[in-house]
Chains A and B, each alone.
Chain A
Amino acid sequence: MPKGFISRGFQGRRVQSDDQSRIPPGQHETADFPVLSAGPTPRIVLEAWTFEINGLVKKPIHWTWDEFRKLKSQPYTVDIHCVTKWTKLGTQWEGVSVDTLLEYVELEPNAHFVTAFCDGGYTTNLPLEDITGGKAFIAYNYDGRPLPREHGGPARLVVPHLYFWKSAKWVRGFTFTEQDELGFWESLGYHRRGDPWKEQRYRGD
């Protein structure tokens, strides 16, 4: 028996390909790239931009835009899943692995969680293990071009294995903490972790 109440006369619009196995429950594939944000898109001056790592680290560090662009970068091709139900397959990015950034700092032993902070005041919380081991990167190119500002340019966090609100736009740094401190959407009723394959959309899911 399927989970859920069968809707009279509903057949659905199926994807006739192997790609269906890449679409988490309750999601549907989209070809375009919707924009969702809670407020105006910030205007960011690259000369004033920095990326900072602070909190539970032995010594905080920051990079200017020019310094950040000289860090070892790589291309990524990933599927992304938005909690508003769309999934976009095979998105192409270029950026810096979070693992690379963490080579420059020494974490305190009790640094279990991170808050990503952003221009405009947005925050999101993540366990350390969700941003390490090749699972997350700071992207500055999308589809071979500089990341458009409405999609988070000049740089956004990308954590493709979690719902896309975790992939904070206009990211400016990480604060490492001992406890999991809820971010913007997480404190407004969205799930603490947001695994699309477990359909962790909202608090309690």
Chain B
Amino acid sequence: MKSVLEWQIATVQAICQETHRVKTFTLALPDWSPHRAGQHYDIRLTAPDGYQAQRSYSIASEPERRGELDLTVERIENGEVSTYLHDVLIPGDQIEVRGPIGGYFVWEASMAGPLLLVAGGSGIVPLMVMIRHRRAARSTVPTRLLYSSRTAEDIIYAEEMDQLVATQPGLGIYHTLTRAQPHGWTGYARRIDVDMLREVATPLGSALRSYVCGPTSLVESVADQLTALGLPADRIRTERFGPTGGTL
């Protein structure tokens, strides 16, 4: 991490609609510095009268992509910053950012694994960047992602996940859809529970590292269940996304 995190003015290069509520913003940074998979950036918006609002957003792009970064943002109804980003921001606009920030909920290929990633909703973002970093670093660390979404339409990065599973050795991605499932769905169809975690985690052995990110209720229960399955606390790293948790 840099000794001082200065604000800098990034330029929006592209905006990609991921799902009906989620967009990815590609930002070009004049002073880009390498981040670690799992870190975040702060965004600061300033109104003409000086009023300011700040929020943190997870970096979605792997550190091997230099000079720019992706931030994937869910639009929160009645939100202040996410609604501005979704409803107002267009390519060519400029926006103040600083980062990268955070040094615990991170994974680097050199840390090895095996890796168990558990995500709920937009909590996928810092875990997806770990998988993208794994690909860029040509890591073959056994890695399994268990990803809980409400419906098939809410799965963020769905197409890329299919491609990753088809091309990356040692990677498995397991979905659960908690609210509605499409016809012929073969994945899980319930909230994550201890049986589901055991099925997904057992092939990874007992020496795994786990990263859990999502809404507080999911993170609390999954962390408890991983503890019940015998995983030591220092192998369970958590990050929470809530409507007011500052990260959405």
Q: Interface residues, chain A, CB within 8 Å of chain B?
A: 2-14, 25-28, 30-32, 34-43, 82, 84-86, 120-121, 150, 184-185, 188-189, 202-205
Contact = CB atoms under 8 A, between A and B. Distances in A.
A20 B238 CA distance: 32
Interface string B94-128: 11100001111100000000000000000000000
A7 B46 contact: yes
A93 to B, nearest CB: 20
A178 B102 CA distance: 28
Given A5-B94, A34-B244, A150-B220, A12 B236 contact: no
B54 to A, nearest CB: 4
Contacts of A150: 216, 220
26 contacts: A2-B46, A2-B50, A2-B51, A4-B50, A7-B46, A7-B47, A10-B46, A10-B47, A10-B53, A12-B80, A26-B52, A27-B54, A32-B243, A34-B216, A34-B244, A35-B216, A39-B223, A39-B238, A41-B224, A85-B56, A184-B104, A188-B103, A188-B104, A189-B103, A202-B5, A203-B4
B246 A84 contact: yes
Interface string B60-96: 0000000000000000001010001000100001111
Contacts, number: 142
Given A10-B47, A40-B238, A121-B234, A84 B96 contact: no
A120 to B, nearest CB: 6
Given A4-B46, A85-B55, A189-B102, A205 B5 contact: yes
A82 B224 CA distance: 24
B164 to A, nearest CB: 27
B94 to A, nearest CB: 7
A203 B245 contact: no
A202 B102 CA distance: 10
B242 interface: yes
Interface size on B, as a range, is: 35 or more
B201 to A, nearest CB: 15
B245 A34 contact: yes
Judged by DSSP, the binding face of A is loop
Nearest to A119: B233
B101 A34 contact: no
Contacts of A11: 47, 51
Contacts of A30: 244
Nearest to A150: B220
Contacts of A7: 45-47, 84, 95-96
A77 to B, nearest CB: 20
Interface string B120-155: 000000000000000000000000000000000000
Contact of A40 (B48, B51, B227): B227
B195 interface: no
B49 interface: yes
A51 B144 CA distance: 40
B194 interface: no
